Each structure stands twice: as C-alpha cells, then as structure tokens.
C-alpha cells in the first residue's frame, strides 16, 4: 500500500519539475519555489515577526548547498544564509538579497 505522504511528495516533485521557478544554485541549474514562508517556529527558531525570503527545492538538488552558496532566481541574486531539510523530500534555503 502506498503511503499518503509518499503520493503527495511525488506529486510535489513533479509540479516543481514542470512549473517551478528556474534558478541556478552555485552556477548549476535547479528548479524550486521562491517564497516567503509564514514565520513558523520550526523554521525560524522562534517567532520573529518577519518573513524571510526562501527557496524550496528537492533534497537532491540541494545536496551541495552550503552557507554562502549563491542562488540566482527571477533576475535577482541571493546568498544562502541558512538551509533546512524539511523531511518531506525538500530543503528550504533561507536567503539574503545580494546588492
């Protein structure tokens, strides 16, 4: 029997592959979702009252990410200030806009 979460994780990956935001991560092409997630304590480490720009992408595409990695998406350049595997097959990159 297929697990409910597995079905949705597979669908989520297929959606990102087809309509995700095209980007480069340290020069490598990737697809993901540029977002400002609602401030959640498990993401920010505590309620901070602000939202931080983030990029959600499949774990396999985030395998080489480090703090300071460079993401270019939709014409803007960002520095990865933190990243967190979400335990759903995706990793969230927290970003800072580079001048």
Phi, psi at residue 56, to the nearest 5°? -105, 125
pLDDT at 40: 53
Token digits for 5?
């979460």
What is the domain count for the chain? 1
Q: What is the pTM of this model?
A: 0.79
User: Cα–Cα distance between 23 and 72 in angstroms, integer?
Assistant: 5
Q: pLDDT truncated to tens, each residue of the chain (99 aa)?
A: 568 777 777 777 788 888 889 999 999 999 999 988 665 555 555 555 556 799 999 999 999 999 999 999 999 999 999 999 988 889 999 999 998
Domain that holds residue 9: 4-97
Residue 55's CATH number: 2.40.10.210
């Amino acid at each position: 029997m297929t697990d409910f979460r597995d079905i949705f994780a597979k669908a989520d990956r297929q959606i990102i592959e087809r309509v995700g935001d095209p980007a480069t991560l340290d020069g490598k092409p990737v697809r993901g979702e540029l977002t400002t997630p609602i401030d959640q304590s498990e993401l920010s480490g505590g309620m901070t009252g602000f939202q931080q720009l983030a990029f959600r992408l499949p774990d396999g595409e985030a395998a080489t990410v480090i703090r300071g990695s460079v993401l270019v998406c939709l014409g803007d350049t960002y520095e990865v200030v933190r990243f967190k595997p979400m335990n759903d097959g995706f990793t969230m990159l927290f970003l800072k806009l580079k001048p």
